[in-house]
Every structure is written in C-alpha cells, then in structure tokens.
Amino acid sequence: MLSLGFLASNNGSAMRAIVGAIDRAELRARPALVVSNKQDSPALAFAREKGIAHACIPTRHDPHLADRRLLKALADAGVDLVILSGYLRKLGPATLAAFEGRILNVHPALLPKFGGEGMYGRRVHEAVLANGETQSGATIHLVDGEYDHGRIIAQSRIAIAPGDSVQEIQANVMKAENVLFVATVRRIAEGELGLPL
C-alpha cells in the first residue's frame, strides 16, 4: 500500500482531500505522516484529530538541520510519496536527493505560467486576472530545487468567465486542485504511474 507523507504550512486542503478519499475507500493508500513548519498549523490539528503521525519542523533558523530532520522523519515513517499541500518552504538538498522523483506539489495555475518564488495563493490568481487570461487551473509537478520548476505530471483547466473575481477563480482552482491531486495519487497507487516518476 502506498505510504504518503504530507507537508503543509497552513490548512493543507489537498492533503484533506486525499485523506478524505482514503477514508471513503476511493484511494488505496496510507497517510503515514504530516509535517508542518508552523506549530499552530491547522494541518497539524487535522493530523491530531485523524490520528495521523505528525511533526513540526521549523525551517527558518537552521534550514540544514531542518532538512536532515525532515528526511529522517519521512524515512522513519516509511513514506513512499511526499505530497506538498501548501508547503511554503523550499526543500533542502538531502530530502530532494533521497526522494527524487517522489515529491509532488500542486500549483494553482497552469505552469509554466504564473509560477516561481512568491507566486502562491491569492497572488497567483491576481496575476492571472490582471493578465486577462481566459483559463486557469491546477498543475501537479515534481519538486526540485527551484520553485514551481519540476516536470509537469498532470494539469486540469478551468474557464474564467468575464467578471469572475479573484475569490471565484481561487475557489474554482482549489476544487480543481483537490480533484486532480486525488486522481494523480490514485494513478500512482494503482501502478499506472510508477515511482520514481
């Protein structure tokens, strides 16, 4: 059974969608670990409520130590696939090397557009709207040493109607993100996509 490790800085909505699919027996996988860089993260509260192993690993003061601690936590939990669900810190070289081809992120736009450092959350949707785009969507990509840079695994598109607000775009993209991430993890769990990717 596919063993999942989740990294989330805040709410972890994709993580919640994936765990929900597991709970409903729509996805054959095991949530092995939730890690946040913030002690008060709602993602950690969710993990506690669900009885999922969890840890807070702050990254700001000593990124190298945090990298080693994260790698150990993921390895000790037997994680096969690492899922970034709104994790707003860059991963360190030890974790990236050990889990190469096994770390996925979801980005709330159609990469390679509207990606890169500082492009997350509302900022992405504001940029999409300001650019006059008629489509946006979600992108699942492999994680490497650069923000929003790794190979694209899957995308889902949504239409932007005239007059749509940033909030409407954000809500529609979040729904698309969650559906796409569950579907992508299911493809991996069922062997349609082999690891490493």
d(CA 155, CA 186): 15
Angle at 100 between CA 27 and CA 189, to 5 degrees: 15
Residue 45, token pair as written in the block: 């509260």
Task: Provide φ and ψ at 67, rounded to 5°.
Answer: -60, -45
Q: Is 11 exposed, middle or buried (0-12, 13-18, 19+ CB in 10 A)?
A: middle
Known catalytic residues? 107
d(CA 22, CA 11): 18
Residue environment code for 26-35, b if the CB has 16+ CB neighbours within 10 A, otherwise e: ebebbbbbbb
d(CA 91, CA 74): 13
Amino acid identity, position 46: F
